[in-house]
Chain A
Amino acid sequence: MNLAVRCQNLVKVYDTGGQKVTALNGINLDIIAGQLMMLVGPSGCGKTTLISVIAGILDQDEGLCELFGENLLAMRSKDKLNFRAKNIGFVFQAFNLLPSLNAAENVSIPLIINGMKRAEAERKAITLLEQVGLGARWKSLPSQLSGGQQQRVAIARALVHNPRLIVCDEPTSALDHETGRNVMKLLKDVALHKDRTLVIVTHDARIFDFADRIAEMDDGHIVEVQDKREQG
């Protein structure tokens, strides 16, 4: 079994003007490649902090976090940017599409960051939009799309450069139940395959059934990891 992510003894303390908040307090967690891992737990328990460290956009204070065998903390910042650009896709609760770019232009951004020419990147973006069922809407601005459609554009953007890891923070929280389940279906069916791992932070119990494994957090710790597939 290949490991996508290995966290050992992760500690992260936020220091806001003298007041210290320990968001991660010794996290040990393995995420298996090709699986959909859900991070669940009460608000403020450190889920967002943990996927930020995993995605390499936040540095931990202590402990080790390896992504596909690489320690991002030890990388030079340029290599780290390149590593993120190539290997990671992001999906956010608030979609975070660029409002003045149309769907295809939004989806093409990761390719452009990776150095692809604009025309080619936008062509490729349109094929991704087709895969998420929005091929006809490639010219639409985010404001012209519904929440569920915007999140599908965001998923296409997270997939377009074929990353090995996609991190999603509360991807269904801004959506109604049915739309949320459709988004999860899309993530599971289109995004997930043996070379791609998904880490999804959620507190939405109604979508837990999409997970391969669920890590439950509380107060900066992992309290339990359940394997849903074994439970079957």
Chain B
Amino acid sequence: MNHIALKMLMGDTGKYIGIVMGLTFASLIMTQQPAIFLGIMSRTYSFITDVGLPDIWVIDPKVQFVDDIKPMQDTELYRVRGISGVEWAMPMYKGLLKARLLDGTFQTCNVVGLDDATLIGGPPVMLEGKIDDLRRSDSVIVDIDGASEKLGKPSLIPGGKPIPLKIGDNLELNDRRAIVVGIAKVTRTFQSQPVIYTTYSRAKSYAPKERKLLSFVLVKAKKGQDLVELTRRIRESTGLAAYTQADFKTLTYEYFMHNTGIPINFGTSVLLGFIVGAAIAGQTFYNFTLGNIMQFGVLKAMGTSNWILLRMILLQAVLVGSIGYGLGVGLTALFGFAMRHTILAFKFPWQLLLFSGAGISLICAFAAIISILKVIRLEPAIVFKG
């Protein structure tokens, strides 16, 4: 009877397309919105990912997430270096500073100061120049997005695209000269400011004079060290907070989860997608069954059991569900591909396929169940009713 179920479904082209489109829409929303959500959430900690190398981040205990800078005194660095199990510990400065552009306007930048000797924590990918060029006086490395947009020089034609900053160009940070020696590619962060890398000591000279300027102490553990144990030792002997790389990401991520409207906004669109999808697909599928009720009645009168009819409807639901799901996921993937070079955050892990798959299955199960109930309750005597 399977072929009869399939022909019944596809024979009614208009309704068939309607059901599939409803499910495609639901599947698209339930995949694409979470993908953007995950993309945005992963950006909250992409700075930690980019720095990469250190096992442990030591910070002020009041810090709530990676961009929440609560500076420490430089002496903390030496205290951390003295703790057993620490292979090395490096300072890092991170702060928002105003850069003065050639045309006299100001642009807030995310300035990262790396340990002068080792330059640990530098940009993950250099597009032009070398990280080592930071050893030259007044040198900075600028990220490509910042260099080509917000830090770019004004276009020669009014309203045109800015001219990208190049190696050798100058900036002014806190009235001090900064010479661009490299262009880097960094993972986009949640903040959209340009990122400027320089050395720790130079960053301190760019920053307003303050007693405390040390943002992070980056720690590499000795081989074979238990990281959790080491973070405990650092906390106990310094009174600072110490997180493994993964825990610091979690801390940051959780902060955004609990203190911003992002999860609620995306959760709402996903839920709406689910509800609208369930309503459209459920409704059109049920209408389709109602429209074919005489056919089901005829089959029933001729001796088809409820069990077989149930299987026929399930098959129809599984078919439209699979097609709708596939199209929705496919469209999401296309969307992600089309947006890969843009500012849009997008992350599509395989778990997301399970998530939207479960959502679509739920919608189809709902649509199938209301239809099945209708057909099971159907009196075969309706076949003789005009």
Residue-wise, chain B 297-322 has the 8 Å CB interface mask toward A (1 for contact) of: 01111111100000000000000000
The interface centre, meaning the residue of B8, B301, B303, B381 with most chain A CB atoms within 10 A of its CB, is B303
Q: For the complex, is A94 an interface residue (Cβ under 8 Å from B)?
A: yes
Q: Which of A72-112 contact B (CB under 8 A)?
A: 78, 81-86, 88, 90, 92-94, 96, 98-101, 105, 109-110, 112
Q: Contact check, B11 vs A99: say whether CB atoms are below 8 A apart.
A: yes
Q: Contact check, A92 vs B383: say whether CB atoms are below 8 A apart.
A: yes
Question: How many A-B contacts if CB must be within 8 Å?
Answer: 77
Q: Contact check, A96 vs B294: say whether CB atoms are below 8 A apart.
A: yes
Could you tell me the distance between the alpha carbons of A27 and B4 in the complex, rounded to whole angstroms? 38
Q: Contact check, B4 vs A85: say whether CB atoms are below 8 A apart.
A: no
Q: Contact check, B299 vs A57: say whether CB atoms are below 8 A apart.
A: no
The verdict on A105 contacting B383 (CB below 8 Å), with A81-B305, A90-B302, A110-B302 known, is no
The verdict on A112 contacting B11 (CB below 8 Å), with A57-B380, A81-B304 known, is no
Q: For the complex, is A3 an interface residue (Cβ under 8 Å from B)?
A: no
Q: Which of A93-151 contact B (CB under 8 A)?
A: 93-94, 96, 98-101, 105, 109-110, 112-114, 118
Q: Contact check, B8 vs A113: say whether CB atoms are below 8 A apart.
A: no
Could you tell me the distance between the alpha carbons of A101 and B3 in the complex, rounded to whole angstroms? 10
Q: Contact check, A96 vs B302: say whether CB atoms are below 8 A apart.
A: no
For B302, the chain A residues whose CB sits under 8 A away are 84-85, 88, 90, 109-110, 113
Q: Which of B258-314 contact A (CB under 8 A)?
A: 294-295, 298-305
Q: Contact check, B4 vs A84: say whether CB atoms are below 8 A apart.
A: no
For A114, the chain B residues whose CB sits under 8 A away are 303
- The listed residue (A98, A100, A105) touching B298 by CB distance below 8 A is A98
The verdict on A58 contacting B379 (CB below 8 Å), with A94-B386, A169-B384 known, is yes
Q: Which of A46-87 contact B (CB under 8 A)?
A: 48, 51-52, 55, 57-58, 78, 81-86
Q: For the complex, is B236 an interface residue (Cβ under 8 Å from A)?
A: no
- The listed residue (B1, B7, B298, B301) touching A55 by CB distance below 8 A is B301
Q: Contact check, A101 vs B384: say whether CB atoms are below 8 A apart.
A: no
Residue-wise, chain A 146-170 has the 8 Å CB interface mask toward B (1 for contact) of: 0000000000000000000000010
The verdict on A112 contacting B379 (CB below 8 Å), with A90-B302, A98-B295 known, is no
Residue-wise, chain B 1-41 has the 8 Å CB interface mask toward A (1 for contact) of: 10110011011100000000000000000000000000000
Q: Contact check, B384 vs A48: say whether CB atoms are below 8 A apart.
A: yes
Could you tell me the distance between the alpha carbons of A143 and B138 in the complex, rounded to whole angstroms? 84
Distance between B313 CB and nearest chain A CB, rounded to angstroms:
15
- The listed residue (A78, A92, A99, A113) touching B384 by CB distance below 8 A is A92
Could you tell me the distance between the alpha carbons of A83 and B303 in the complex, rounded to whole angstroms? 8
Distance between A12 CB and nearest chain B CB, rounded to angstroms:
10
For B7, the chain A residues whose CB sits under 8 A away are 98, 100-101, 105
Interface size class of A (residues with CB under 8 A): 20 to 34
For A93, the chain B residues whose CB sits under 8 A away are 386
Q: Contact check, A81 vs B1: say whether CB atoms are below 8 A apart.
A: no
For A92, the chain B residues whose CB sits under 8 A away are 298, 383-384
Could you tell me the distance between the alpha carbons of A78 and B300 in the complex, rounded to whole angstroms? 12
Q: Contact check, A101 vs B301: say whether CB atoms are below 8 A apart.
A: no
Instruction: Kindly report which residue of chain B lies nearest to residue A95, judged by CB atoms.
Output: B298
Distance between B245 CB and nearest chain A CB, rounded to angstroms:
59
Distance between B72 CB and nearest chain A CB, rounded to angstroms:
74
Q: Which of B162-190 contact A (CB under 8 A)?
A: none
- Given A94-B386, A105-B7, 17 new contacts (CB under 8 A): A58-B379, A58-B380, A81-B303, A84-B302, A85-B303, A90-B301, A93-B386, A96-B298, A98-B8, A100-B8, A100-B11, A101-B4, A101-B8, A109-B4, A112-B1, A112-B4, A113-B299
| Chain A contacts to B: CB under 8 angstroms | 48, 51-52, 55, 57-58, 78, 81-86, 88, 90, 92-94, 96, 98-101, 105, 109-110, 112-114, 118, 169
| Chain B contacts to A: CB under 8 angstroms | 1, 3-4, 7-8, 10-12, 294-295, 298-305, 379-381, 383-386
Q: Can you name 25 A-B pairs with beta carbons within 8 Å?
A: A48-B384, A51-B384, A57-B301, A57-B379, A58-B380, A58-B381, A82-B303, A83-B303, A84-B301, A84-B302, A85-B303, A88-B302, A88-B303, A90-B383, A94-B386, A96-B298, A98-B7, A99-B295, A100-B7, A100-B12, A101-B11, A105-B3, A105-B7, A109-B299, A113-B302
